[in-house]
Amino acid sequence: MLQSTDARSGALHGAAWDESSPEQIDAAVAAAASAADAFAAKSNAQRAAFLRALAQALTDNAAALLPVADRETALGLPRLEGELARTAFQLRGFADAVEQGAAQAFLDETAMAGAPPAGRPRLSRIQAPLGPVAVFAASNFPFAFSVLGGDSASAFAAGCPVVLKAHPGHPQLSRDVAAIAATVVEQCGLPAGVFQLVEGASVAVGVQLVQSPAIAAVAFTGSFKGGTALARLAADRPRPVPFYGELGSVNPLVVLPAALAGGPDALAQTLADSICLGAGQFCTSPGVIVVFKDAPGDAFVQQLRTRLAAAAPHAMLNAGIRAAFERGVDQWRQHAKLQVLVDGRQPQGNPRPFLAQVDVADFLADHRLHEEVFGCAALVVRVDDSAQVVALLNAIGGTLTSTLWGVPAGDVQPDEAVLAVVRTAVQVSGRVLFSGVPTGVAVTAAQHHGGPFPASTAPFTTSVGYAAVQRFVRPLALQDAPGWLLAREGAFL
């Protein structure tokens, strides 16, 4: 059963309802499959109009949606207002990208007379929509990574119907947004199968959806355990399909000595704010803070400690996420090699930040310390030199982000030690920052939100930014195609 729950009090709201039955899931996938050809054949202008209509409907219904989102997630109206605006911006951005041909790249090479290899037939390379996409909504972004979030927007932009698996953490909001989406589908004259919703907290719902033969690709944002289990199912199907999983990350932040030349105060406050943003429930929250063993480093850690101790994060998304946070913090608390710096010890009410310090040798020796604790918690790892920073980054492995404070700016060439740190960060991360903090992922064409495994299952793809559409199209070569087909310049049949 599903029921709307107040994230702050745990109180149940409204009537409960059943999760989607196996028959309902089959019907949703069948509807998406039946709509696939018609939706793929829509012009760029029609797809763009659909995306803009979704954005407008989301904005028009903000007053009704925001209180429901706040009740179910405890994220607060200011944050949710910004997230809804971001989601509408993202939908409009994909509309612009569609009109610019992002989903329908067309390359035409004329025939050349003569024998191969110099001679060749006329070849035209286009991109074809994959077909129905199963999208798994995330818990921590109830708009931007949920029903009409980036995965749905990019699938629509590619010309693919979406079967959306709602997150049980915000079930009523998901239903409300899905109803808005269904209305827009109808108003735009599209088949109802272009958008379908399935619901459920049980594992069986997600398993059936991934294994449905008509599903052509899967997009997932969530836990490492859940994502890797679904990825195996997608790979083990009789006809395997691509699984695009964003699985979280510890997002190391390296404080090189040069970064502290201006003092620790401002940087410590910036970092504390990032760790606690959204109660730490960001996939890009900085979880490993690398600081050198020197006097400026000591001062920075002390300032970070002071500011985190004063922070007051809001309630977490739901009781399950809160329980997982407390379990993770408790494991750190009991670790013999960790020095606890900030520990509010508040199992009831809103969470309290947790910060501990560990020597790099002990960190490298225990793989458990490399794992994410989802929430407002972080480890400070103290290092002697840049070589140890390189070892730490390699030990953590794939991350969504790495942040490097103190790398020379402008045209100043770093020394070999710093260059080695940069080189390693580039190898293990999907996004490398040289200023600021990793929380906050801009929606833009140049963005890459992914990373080497275990951060994501497909590091060459992004789930944020307009390149995300490339996940849901496949290249197709047309040889000596007739003129009527070539005139479409990549628009699918």
Region 2-247+456-486: CATH code: 3.40.605.10
Q: What is the mean pLDDT of the chain?
A: 95
pLDDT for the residue numbered 102: 79
Catalytic residue among 19, 72, 246, 372: 246
Q: Above pLDDT 70, what percent of the chain? A: 99
Q: 394 near 367, Cβ under 8 Å?
A: no
Q: Where in the chain is the domain with CATH 3.40.605.10?
A: 2-247+456-486
How far apart CA 207 and CA 221 sit, in angstroms, is: 15
pTM, to two decimals: 0.94
Q: Note the pLDDT tens digit of each residue in 373-426.
A: 999 999 999 999 999 999 999 999 999 999 999 999 999 999 999 999 999 999
Query: Looking at 22-26, 58-62, 99-103, which range is the least confident one?
Result: 99-103
Reply yes or no on whether 376 is catalytic: no
Q: Where in the chain is the domain with CATH 3.40.309.10?
A: 253-433
Q: 424 near 397, Cβ under 8 Å?
A: no
pLDDT for the residue numbered 18: 97
Reply yes or no on whether 283 is catalytic: yes
Residues in the chain: 493
pLDDT bin (cut points 50, 70, 90) of residue 347 is low
Q: Note the pLDDT tens digit of each residue in 179-200.
A: 999 999 999 999 999 999 999 9
CATH fold label, 253-433: Aldehyde Dehydrogenase; Chain A, domain 2 (3.40.309)
Catalytic residue among 160, 276, 283, 376: 283
